Amino acid sequence: MNTFSNTNKLNKLIDIGIALSKEKNINILLEKILNEARVISNSDGGTVYLITDDSQKLSFEIMQTESLGIKFGGSSEPVPDYIYPVKLYTDDGNKNLNNVSAVCALKGKTINIKNAYENDEYDFSGVKGFDKKHNYFSKSFLNIPLKDHKEKVIGVLQLLNAQKDGKIISFSDELVELVEALSSQASVALTNQLLIDEQKALFRSFIKLVVDALDKKDPVTGGHCNRVPLITMMIADYVNSDANDKYKDISFSEDEMDELFVAAWLHDFGKVATPDHIMNKSTKLQGVYDKIDQIKLRFEILKRDIEIEFYKKQIEDSNIEQQPFQSKLQKIKDDFLFLEKSNLGGEFMSDDLQEKVREIAKYKISVDDNSKPILSDKDVDFLTISRGTLSKEDRQIMENHVSLSYELLDKLPYPEHLKEVPYIAGCHHEKLNGEGYPNGYTADQLPLQARIIAIADVFEGLTAPDRPYKEPYKLSKALNILKFMVDDNEIDPDLFKLMIKNKLYLKYANEHLNANQIDSIDEKKLLS
């Protein structure tokens, strides 16, 4: 080999190494490894195997035979299910020493077969059967182990039928050396990517563990944290594919999509510190327990006091009328039923109804010879909550979960492409008009990723079928509320239009909502 050819081959290997190191998709990387190996060895075909997680088999990842037009794996269609993995061990637990690829993996050594039809060391009956069926001649084989940074075999590169001047030749020692050099580079790139993928898998498993922990603490929050990422990524996918509208010039990279995914999963992380009685507050008077039962007992005491007073008067005057007495008892009963209903919360409690609570609070009961109001000032404050079940103090505690999410998430040592996770996750309750919380950020301070999670969070909250404190809204009502929020400059109008125009709302609803929630939608009105 002359100096020029050596230099060319060295430069080729360097170029291949650089190209392989840049590829992040494991399937495409494996395809590139085989393609480059076939080019420098001038091989008709080849296979890349990876050892399965249980270390028992070699799975077919990439398969190519140029002259037969066979291409499986990578950017082509997947390897068919009927192509079974190669067993590394026999059924009785012994090493499989009959298959050349298995031996290559088990021993970690290169195996060069000059002519399979003249080789009696390995079983090539399957190969010969393939040849007969396809009128092919599988002659020369080169099997090279792929090893990780610890010299552990992680796969096998197999090349088939080296060629020269249109003829099948064996793999020369020179070619073997060259392919081994390439395989070494490929192994480094493959190992790096596998390690990255393993780290991603570990991190995502940790995230899932956190959400599962929230689910154990509060099934409602756990369900919410599982569904918000689904809506988020659904919207993000359509942003990436929106070729003719607002987002035609916007495309999230793979790293940005990963960052958004993680932020969506962890957006409510701070709720780990939110008290259970706040998280699960289904009624206005609920704390550690629902105080409506105490109030019910007080009404029974009030009823008792009225009955005693009536019976005393009846003793003095047997002709006393019962109707006023019965009317008074009925009013007491009705008043308690009103309080019981008020305790459930709702979308809005009018001033008149709040005033009615205050009027009822004027009742007095006798306890230990002392006169006490039937409702405490705090009871009145809770029962007159105008929206939902949370008091101002409760809501402040609940809203603190956002700040806490940011505080806790910001302590993690993120890789470069995930550094904005705390910020994106911490903005999901901010509004474009600056009236959100915890920081009152305005539109120019809210990146598109944060806006996506924000609209996903609201939509899921409105339609969630598992909230103990409210019935899930029908689809039409939820979308109308989102439209109101758009009109009030709270959520992103373009993302809302994207949801409607592409029927993302319906796709999500069909998969995750109760059938009775899915009703008729006036898209024209929503888009007006």
Tens digits of residue pLDDT in 223-236: 788 899 999 999 99
Pick one of 3.40.309.10, 2.40.340.10, 3.30.1300.10, 1.10.3210.10 as the CATH number of 218-278+393-527.
1.10.3210.10
Please compute the mean of the pLDDT values over residues 301-323 and round it to a whole number.
Answer: 85
C-alpha 364/C-alpha 377 separation (Å) is: 13
With CA atoms as reference, report the closest residue to 242 among 508, 523, 512, 499: 499
Please compute the mean of the pLDDT values over residues 436-443 and round it to a whole number.
Answer: 92
Which tokens is 326 given? 């019965």
Mean pLDDT of the chain: 87
Name the band, by pLDDT with cuts 50, 70 and 90, for residue 171.
very high
Which tokens is 431 given? 């509004």
HEC string for 420-465 = CHHHHHCCCCCCCECCCCCCCCEHHHCCHHHHHHHHHHHHHHHHCC
* 112 DSSP β-pair partners: 142
pLDDT reported for residue 195: 82
Please compute the mean of the pLDDT values over residues 267-295 and round it to a whole number.
Answer: 77
Q: What CATH architecture is 3-198?
A: 2-Layer Sandwich (3.30)
pLDDT reported for residue 4: 37
Does 133 have pLDDT greater than 60? yes
pLDDT digits (tens, 9 = 90+) for 404-414: 888 888 888 88
Mean pLDDT lowest for which of 78-82, 186-190, 354-358? 186-190
How many CB atoms within 10 Å of residue 112? 18
**Structural domain boundaries in the chain:** 3-198, 218-278+393-527, 292-389
Contacts by residues 52-60 (CB-CB < 8 Å, ≥ 24 positions apart):
52/85, 55/88, 56/87, 56/88, 56/89, 57/85, 57/86, 57/87, 57/88, 58/85, 58/86, 58/88, 58/101, 58/102, 58/105, 58/155, 58/156, 59/85, 60/85, 60/86
Q: Which residues neighbour 267 within 8 Å (Cβ) at sequence distance 6 or greater?
A: 225, 228, 405, 425, 428, 453, 457
pLDDT reported for residue 288: 63
With CA atoms as reference, report the closest residue to 117 among 101, 133, 126, 128: 128
pLDDT reported for residue 219: 58
With CA atoms as reference, report the closest residue to 163 among 40, 10, 7, 31: 40
Q: Is the dihedral of CA 321, 324, 327, 333 positive or negative?
A: negative
C-alpha 300/C-alpha 105 separation (Å) is: 82
Name the band, by pLDDT with cuts 50, 70 and 90, for residue 478.
very high
pLDDT reported for residue 196: 80
Distance between alpha carbon 22 and the CA centroid of its chain, in Å?
27
Q: Are 485 and 493 in contact (CB under 8 A)?
A: no
Q: Are 63 and 47 in contact (CB under 8 A)?
A: yes
Contacts by residues 389-397 (CB-CB < 8 Å, ≥ 24 positions apart):
389/281, 389/282, 389/283, 389/284, 389/286, 389/344, 389/345, 389/469, 390/278, 390/281, 391/284, 394/278, 394/281, 397/274, 397/275, 397/278
